[in-house]
């Protein structure tokens, strides 16, 4: 779908949204990702102990089972998605 200048198609909302809204959503996702990375780093380094109930949850066990190759694919896919959304808002 083609949108006007300074608008980007939002597959979430299924409408053309202003670039500012897309940028705000993207920055929020980056902030959330950064907090997640910091939490994982703190847990991995032992700075913050993980409660036993959380350690045995299926979600944490699934995350711990991911190998580095899978994490690299997830990260590169996220970067492509992120920059594809931001590139539509750039004015050259």
Does some domain include residue 75?
yes
- In 3-state terms, what secondary structure has residue 86? helix
Q: Is residue 9 part of a domain?
A: no
Q: Indicate whether 2 belongs to any domain.
A: no
Residue 12 sits at φ, ψ, to 5 deg, of -70, -50
Phi-psi region of 35 (alpha: psi -120 to 50; beta: other; left: phi over 0): alpha
6 occurs within a structural domain: no
Question: What is the per-residue pLDDT across 29-77, written as a single tens digit (0 to 9) for each?
Answer: 889 889 988 888 887 777 888 788 887 888 888 877 888 888 889 888 8
Please indicate, yes or no, if residue 14 is contained in any of the structural domains: no
Number of domains, the chain: 1
Buried b (16+ CB within 10 A) or exposed e, 67-91: eeeeeeeeeeeeeeeeeebeeebee
Q: Which domain holds residue 23?
A: 19-87
Tell me the pLDDT tens digit for each residue of 1-25: 677 877 878 777 788 877 776 677 7
Answer whether residue 76 is part of any domain. yes
């Amino acid at each position: 779908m083609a949108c006007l200048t300074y608008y980007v198609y939002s597959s979430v909302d299924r409408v053309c949204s202003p670039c500012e809204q897309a940028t705000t959503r993207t920055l929020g996702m980056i902030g959330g990702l950064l907090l997640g990375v910091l939490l994982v780093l703190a847990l991995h380094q032992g700075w913050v102990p993980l409660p036993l109930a959380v350690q045995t949850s299926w979600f944490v066990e699934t995350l711990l089972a991911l190998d580095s190759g899978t994490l690299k694919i997830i990260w590169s896919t996220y970067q492509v998605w992120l920059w594809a959304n931001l590139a539509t808002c750039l004015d050259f």
